[in-house]
Amino acid sequence: MNEFLLTPIEYLKGVGPQRANLLKQELSINNFEELLNYFPFRYVDRSFFCKINEIPLQESATQFKGIVTKMKEGGKGRSKTLSVFVEDETGTIELIWFQGVSWVKNLILLGSTYQIFGKAKVYKSTLKIAHPEITLWSPNNLIKGFQPVYSSTEKLSANGLGTRGIEKIISTLVEQIKNKIPEVLSKSIISEINCISYEEALIKVHAPKTEQEISQALYRLKFNELFYLQLEMLLRKNHSITKRKGFIFPNIGKAFSQFYEDCLPFELTNAQKKVLKEIRKDFLTGKHMNRLLQGDVGSGKTLVALLTCLIAIGNGFQAAIMAPTEILANQHFESITKLISQLPIEVALLTGSTKKSRRVEVHEKLLSGQIHLLIGTHALLENTVQFQNLGIVVIDEQHRFGVAQRATMWKKNSIPPHVLIMTATPIPRTLAMTFYGDLDVSIIDELPPGRKPITTIHRFENHRLRLFGFLKEQIKIGRQIYIVYPLIQESEKLDFANLIEGFEAISRSFPLPEYRVSIVHGKMKGEEKDFEMQRFIKGETQIMVATTVIEVGVNVPNASVMVIESAERFGLSQLHQLRGRVGRGAEKSYCILMTGQKLSNESKIRLETMEQTNDGFEIAEVDLKLRGPGDLLGTQQSGILDLKVADISKDQQLVIYARSIVKKLLQDDADISMRENILIRNKISVILKSKPNWGKIS
């Protein structure tokens, strides 16, 4: 490893032990390399001077030059202000200080020319600049090019390491790095992607002269980051494929064939068939399956899960399906029990509400192998739940489960069971590559036939009477309706009050005996929820008032209207999930998004996107752009999204490109042992050493 780069930061001129400690504590910067990798988050253009009459309003700061023609103090005592008027051949502008008035006043000389840098704003109907940077003009102290802006912290700023202080120490370092930074990509890749050297990129990112230099540097650094991320992913994936043993299920098995021939309620879609083939192939390899199944809401993932479990069972193994909520686990249990009622297969349900005596019985039967298929919630993860020979775990609606929980399922056998993770929140391709780059991905990209697209409409509160009229018409023709209220943790109490109030208002507007209304929310006991849910499923109630507990997976084909209250408060993927509760039968379905009048721009985009498309993948793309990748997955489960320069939502093309380059590299040199790839080998081995266990998860 390069000694220069590993030099402790206190040895840099202008740093010293005290600041070095602060840099360590506040920014985790310990050595030269880490400091060089502390990139500016933006730049200000100091490459030219603007004319005063062309100073843009509300832009980022501008630089200009002018003579001070007048100074004027205003206000009194603490509210004293200083106005300085500056003029060039095109006009005059007022600079204004609200603090440090006398200090600034002493500094500025009437009649001298100054170089000024600041952000113009309209104050009291004239254009002014408050607290600009102002320096006596001289051709020698001109700042040329683009000035980097670094983020800093309060503590650092108090010790002279605000953005300017950081700029200073970094530029001291950058002046010394010429010919000292080893390259980290091979010659052939550098020429293929047509980029500047690593050293040049580090110089230019911190001290660019032109806009082009910034983009050259960023291109190179982003590529680096994404290249090594993808390389890490693909190496881990190859590693797990070749090294990790998994059960072989040699036969399609009796359970599967019998079900397929006698019980299958409808022809599988081509997409379902394709995915089953992929899974079946995994089962023959003797390697551990770690597969992510993506499919839009309503695409029929449950059936794929069941068929997958039947293959395991037909080969003499047990299977488990894990769902994120009790409602969903119950529903899977019921529909699956019904589907396979003719088969000699024992299915059991295990959730938080399972009675103690039943629980003990289930535990015993799992150990003895009497239970073939276990369906449940987190309860499956408890230590007391042991299997005789668990062959596969299907995890439904994956993003609700943390990595740690998935790892627990792993430990239930000496050879880990195969894992199929199903997610109904489609993930944009680039994000999947980044986040699940080490999993195999199957996609169901087709809905079962006969579905009519759901009509989505955004309405304001003043439309409520007409909305209720419409709902009554729908009920008259035999349909059922969901009305969903937000329940968000921060304002749980208030939300709950809204829900109850809404329920009461709806009960008044839809009176008995003609109408019957169910309610389901998180504060109810499991049994109560289930009771209400069942009434709705059986059609005994026509309206289901609920919080987002019904978001995931609930399946009532006769429900054809989804009303979402305060829709502006839901995220896109949640809205899409909720909408997916309707449009499951053959009837024309509607989703009505109710909002207040005041909407943020982002809410408007979300509502419009919902109105315009039913495609979960398209929605996921918009969501990625609006929210960024971390939030999208609703989890900070690993550090891999901590990219320094690249941004998965903005640099999608580059993610794909980097992956393709990595793939090509591994095709030619699978273990990166060729001489020309030595630089890459060195770098990746450092990376892999720093995160040893990461690949074991999921």
Q: Which is nearer to ligand ADP, 86 or 591 (CB)?
A: 591
Residues 423-462 close enough to bind ligand ADP by CB under 6 A: 424, 448
Q: Which is nearer to ligand ADP, 583 or 629 (CB)?
A: 583
What does the per-residue mask of binding to Mg ion show for 172-211, with x meaning CB under 5 A?
----------------------------------------
Cβ 597 to ligand ADP, closest distance in Å?
34
Residues 550-579 close enough to bind Mg ion by CB under 5 A: 553
Residues 534-553 close enough to bind Mg ion by CB under 5 A: 553
Question: What whole-number distance in Å separates Cα of residue 111 and Cα of residue 126?
Answer: 23
Give yes or no for residue 376 binding Mg ion (CB under 5 A).
no
Binding partner of residue 210 among Mg ion, ligand ADP, none, CB cut-off 5 to 8 Å per kind: none
Q: Which is nearer to ligand ADP, 302 or 398 (CB)?
A: 302
Written as six digits, the tokens of 96 are 């204004």
Check the CA dihedral 461-463-468-470 and report its sign: negative
In three state form, how does the secondary structure of 376-423 look? ECHHHHCCCCCCCCEEEEEEECHHHCCHHHHHHHHCCCCCCCEEEEEE
Cβ 295 to ligand ADP, closest distance in Å?
5
Cβ 331 to ligand ADP, closest distance in Å?
9
Give yes or no for residue 303 binding ligand ADP (CB under 6 A).
yes
- Of 504, 495, 506, 503, the residue nearest 464 (C-alpha): 506
For residue 77, with 0-12 CB atoms within 10 Å meaning exposed, 13-18 middle and 19 or more buried, which class applies?
exposed
C-beta of residue 350 within 8 angstroms of C-beta of residue 526: no
* Separation of first and last alpha carbons in the chain: 32
Question: What whole-number distance in Å separates Cα of residue 623 and Cα of residue 515?
Answer: 37
Residues 579-618 close enough to bind ligand ADP by CB under 6 A: 584
Number of residues binding to Mg ion, judged by CB under 5 A: 1
C-beta of residue 499 within 8 angstroms of C-beta of residue 485: yes
Cβ 579 to Mg ion, closest distance in Å?
14
Residues 249-278 close enough to bind ligand ADP by CB under 6 A: 266, 268-269, 272
In three state form, how does the secondary structure of 497-549 look? HHHHHHHHHHHHHCCCCCCCEEEECCCCCHHHHHHHHHHHHCCCCCEEEECHH
Cβ 324 to ligand ADP, closest distance in Å?
12
Among 40, 246, 300, 426, binds ligand ADP (CB under 6 A): 300
Pairing of strands 290-295, 440-444: parallel
Q: Which is nearer to Mg ion, 201 or 329 (CB)?
A: 329
User: Any bridge partners for residue 123, and if so which?
Assistant: 126
Q: Which is nearer to ligand ADP, 556 or 661 (CB)?
A: 556
447: which DSSP letter?
Answer: P
C-beta of residue 592 within 8 angstroms of C-beta of residue 467: yes
| b/e map 547-578, b = 16+ CB within 10 Å | bbbbbbbbbbebbbbbbbbbbbbbbbbbbbbb
Cβ 297 to ligand ADP, closest distance in Å?
4
Among 148, 298, 376, 428, binds ligand ADP (CB under 6 A): 298
- Of 513, 236, 279, the residue nearest 392 (C-alpha): 279
Cβ 332 to Mg ion, closest distance in Å?
8
Residue nearest to ligand ADP as judged by C-beta position? 300
Binding partner of residue 303 among Mg ion, ligand ADP, none, CB cut-off 5 to 8 Å per kind: ligand ADP
Cβ 269 to ligand ADP, closest distance in Å?
5
Tokens 């999930």: give the residue: 577
Give yes or no for residue 314 binding Mg ion (CB under 5 A).
no
Give yes or no for residue 299 binding ligand ADP (CB under 6 A).
yes
Check the CA dihedral 236-241-246-252 and report its sign: positive
Cβ 554 to ligand ADP, closest distance in Å?
9
Cβ 296 to ligand ADP, closest distance in Å?
7
Residues 527-586 close enough to bind ligand ADP by CB under 6 A: 553, 555, 557, 584
- Using left for φ > 0, alpha for ψ between -120 and 50, and beta otherwise, residue 80 falls in beta
Binding-site ranges for ligand ADP (CB under 6 A): 266, 268-269, 272, 295, 297-303, 424, 448, 553, 555, 557, 584
Binding-site ranges for Mg ion (CB under 5 A): 553
